[in-house]
Structure 1
Amino acid sequence: MTALKAFVFTITTICLIVYQFLGDLFGGALSYVFSHPNWPFLLLFVFRYLRLVLNTVFSYFIYRPAEVNALPSYTPYNVTAILPTVDPHNKDFIECVRTCLANKPRQLIIVVVGKQVAEDTENIVEQFRRNSSIITVLFISETSKRKQIVEAIPHITTEITVLLDDHVFWPSPHFLQGVLAAFEDPKVGGVGTNKRVRRTEKGFTFKAFWNLIGAIYLERRNFEARATNAIDGGVSTISGRTSIHRSEILKEKEFIDGFTNERFFFGMFGPLNADDDKFITRYEVRKGWDIKIQDCEDTLVETTLGTYPKYLSQCLRWVRTQWRSNTASLLTDGTVWRRQPWCVYSIYMSSLVNFALLYDTALIYNFLRTTYYQSGVSILYLLVWIFASKVVKLIPYFTREPKDLIFLPGYFAFAYYHSLIKLYALFTFYVIAWGGRNLALASAK
């Protein structure tokens, strides 16, 4: 609490000093600016769309993945894959294991919950035993993704470790070569990839709409990850769907202790089970490691997402994670202020005010009070800009799936509804349940 008070006091003091300095420097000009009817609108407009413009330029035109060397320092033989699961009977699990082993990692460690489930898993993966990879099945007695990962860490014998969820697939047999290219830079400690949701539902149906919403969510994340990583090397999160790390980081005692005992809001709540990927990302940044996003055809990760009503509970969990982790990055950790200044603005600070329903309303209201507003045509221009800007991040998706443009009105409606989810998540940030899965039932098994 003392650190937070000191931080707030420092920021307030700096703002007052800057305001006083500008007042002395520009005299009445500053008073004129802040009394002008246009300034609230311009402030809102620039704060939101400056990041969109620059992110668009860097995401689509400047970002480049690390190139694969002809003689790489690391090969799949240098990789251990850790796969925690609570449901090895899940229909996606077999395909997840198969696509992972197609990339020939040195070892695949599967960690389940319960001895009986471990025996079942041994039978399930028996068909893959002839693969060149070593397959190890471990189990713990309670459901905790973090503890499942930690259970596997002592068994890592390679320089690189991949953490993956049980519902993701690597379409390319060259996936590992693609992500390992980033580790040619010795400063890189963690690598993230591009993700895509499988469109399992077709046509103009209720199920197809929710499948689309899930697909769009990951497309937006891809856009933002490419942009921020190209600008200042930062990223919101190395997604836990598939993340790649130097094993030495995961083996550090400080990491293991913090990972299994993370608490939040001045230690009042926790320990956390969710938010595992956020913790790993913050830890690597704090320890001085660089993060690299590998976004290319070979590094694509596919997943299943977007079923109603499960997707809404997932959204709620993700937004709660955002509130907890982003404020931790800004106030508790603070490393991002020095290492990722663009991310401070475009990710962390923007996330605190990014309520589309409220922000768009404020934009329109303040525009109507400016000298720019002359007629109904001028407000129409603003509305076109607002809605067009919401599609910029989705150009690659709609280029692949133009027939889904029919869902655009529904997507806009969900974007505004999501503001209500985000507001509810703010007031229930202390809830740490893992939305989307019944982990209590998994533990009971």
Structure 2
Amino acid sequence: MSLLSAMQWLYFPDAFWFLVVQLYPSRFTATLAIFFRLLRKGWTWYLSAVHAPVPLSRNPSYLGARDVSIVAATIDTPDAFSACLRTWAGNAPKEIIIVTVPHDAARVRALVSAAQVPSTVPVTVLTHPRATKRGQMSRGIRQSTGRIVALADDDTYWPPTALAHLLAPFEDPAVGGVGGRHKAAPPEHKTKWNCWEAAAARRLWVHNISKTANNAILDGCFVLPGRTVLYRGHIVRDDAFLHAFTHDYWLGKFLADSGDDTFITRWCQSHGWAIKFQSNLEADVLTSCKDSSAFIKQCVRWHRSSLRTSLRTIFHIRQLLRYS
């Protein structure tokens, strides 16, 4: 077994080692679990440090104004959406498609108007009858025309360089999806973060390191976070994908709406597409953070969804390791 293959075993979750200690309680297993945890941390930091992002091509095959459709699903749209929309338009995409529910449509259109997006970037507001993220995303994806579809959350800000650098990995025809690092946007109307915002910012920082390291060793990852992620249009517009995406059942009973980002990442990798994670400053995007104890409830939702989707992704581990 190669060193790289051996190190892949470090990516079993901490819950695996916790289970080992519970099933075989001894000083030896506890020491082994601690050793592997420390080794995993060190290996993760090393891989994150040496990961090389894909540089810009001198003659890029994909241009934002010609090839990229931005799709955003939104409900209870925040006031900051106008500012987010301006940053997306500042990257000069081909089109922006926003999907909301009927009772929010007037508010979304008002926020779009307030954003004063240049006329060169068409913005379309669509509605979906029910507030389901996957249903809304599917509605927007079907409407898109770009060779690349960028999925974005309604509280995400893009620097002017983001789109060009996130497009760079698509020069490799084997790449199906691309994501980048997510960082906490500075809080508005104050100079200091409170404890909740600091905790959220740290969570993003830790996830960036983990995703970068995971991509360096596997040339893939368990999930490209959905705050901002790009996919080839023909992958996500495929009828088979859209049907599976909107008819995804947990345990065969419960229709899943959360975990959309994990589903798409898993779909790409299980269908032979490579995944890239851009770790350069120019591709970083910003997102707002919860400034109250609501952050805890948000984390609970994330972890509940992560548990379900990660268990399903384990069944695709062969596809993940195949890229190494």
TM-score (norm. length: structure 1): 0.63
Q: Does 2:87 align with 1:81?
A: no
SS in 1 for 2:223: coil
- The CA deviation at 1:195 is 0.7
Q: Does 2:132 align with 1:144?
A: yes
Q: Does 2:143 align with 1:162?
A: no
Change (3 A) 1:69 1:112: same
- The CA deviation at 1:119 is 3.5
| Identical-residue share of aligned pairs (%) | 30
SS in 1 for 2:149: strand
1:277 corresponds in structure 2 to: 261
- The CA deviation at 1:129 is 5.2
- The CA deviation at 1:117 is 2.9
What one-letter code is carried by the residue in structure 1 that aligns with 2:105?
A
Alignment of 1:8-19 (within 5 A): none
Change (3 A) 1:280 1:123: same
1:318 corresponds in structure 2 to: 302
275, 280, 283: which one pairs with 1:296?
280
User: In structure 1, what is the Cα distance between the partners aligned to 2:107 and 2:29?
Assistant: 62
Change (3 A) 1:142 1:338: closer
88, 96, 105: which one pairs with 1:108?
96
- The CA deviation at 1:235 is 1.7
Q: Does 2:237 align with 1:251?
A: yes
- The CA deviation at 1:211 is 0.8
Change (3 A) 1:239 1:251: same
Change (3 A) 1:129 1:49: closer
168, 172, 176: which one pairs with 2:163?
176
SS in 1 for 2:178: strand
SS in 1 for 2:267: helix
Cα deviations by residue, 1:139-161 (Å, 9 ceiling, x for unpaired): 01210111111111222111000
2:51 corresponds in structure 1 to: 63
1:335 corresponds in structure 2 to: 316
CA RMSD, Structure 1 to Structure 2 (Å): 2.0
- The CA deviation at 1:168 is 0.7
Is contact 1:250-1:256 (8 Å) kept?
yes
What one-letter code is carried by the residue in structure 2 that aligns with 1:156?
S
1:187 corresponds in structure 2 to: 174
Change (3 A) 1:288 1:51: same
What one-letter code is carried by the residue in structure 2 that aligns with 1:46?
F
82, 85, 89: which one pairs with 1:94?
82
- Report the count of equivalent residues: 296
What one-letter code is carried by the residue in structure 2 that aligns with 1:197?
A
User: In structure 1, what is the Cα distance between the partners aligned to 2:283 and 2:144?
Assistant: 23
- The CA deviation at 1:133 is 1.0
SS in 2 for 1:91: coil
User: In structure 1, what is the Cα distance between the partners aligned to 2:83 and 2:95?
Assistant: 17
Q: Which runs of 5+ in 1 are unaligned?
A: 1-34, 344-445
Relative to its length, the structure with more strand (as a share) is 2
What one-letter code is carried by the residue in structure 1 that aligns with 2:203?
Y
What one-letter code is carried by the residue in structure 2 that aligns with 1:325?
T
- The CA deviation at 1:202 is 4.7
Is contact 1:162-1:242 (8 Å) kept?
yes
- The CA deviation at 1:338 is 4.4
Q: Which runs of 5+ in 2 are unaligned?
A: 1-23
User: In structure 1, what is the Cα distance between the partners aligned to 2:214 and 2:247?
Assistant: 29
SS in 1 for 2:134: helix
Is contact 1:175-1:300 (8 Å) kept?
yes
User: In structure 1, what is the Cα distance between the partners aligned to 2:208 and 2:92?
Assistant: 26
Is contact 1:56-1:227 (8 Å) kept?
yes
SS in 2 for 1:305: coil
User: In structure 1, what is the Cα distance between the partners aligned to 2:37 and 2:225?
Assistant: 24
User: In structure 2, what is the Cα distance between the partners aligned to 1:53 and 1:210?
Assistant: 27
What one-letter code is carried by the residue in structure 1 that aligns with 2:236?
L
SS in 2 for 1:298: helix
Relative to its length, the structure with more helix (as a share) is 1
1:218 corresponds in structure 2 to: 204
Q: Does 2:221 align with 1:238?
A: no
1:286 corresponds in structure 2 to: 270
User: In structure 1, what is the Cα distance between the partners aligned to 2:275 and 2:249?
Assistant: 24
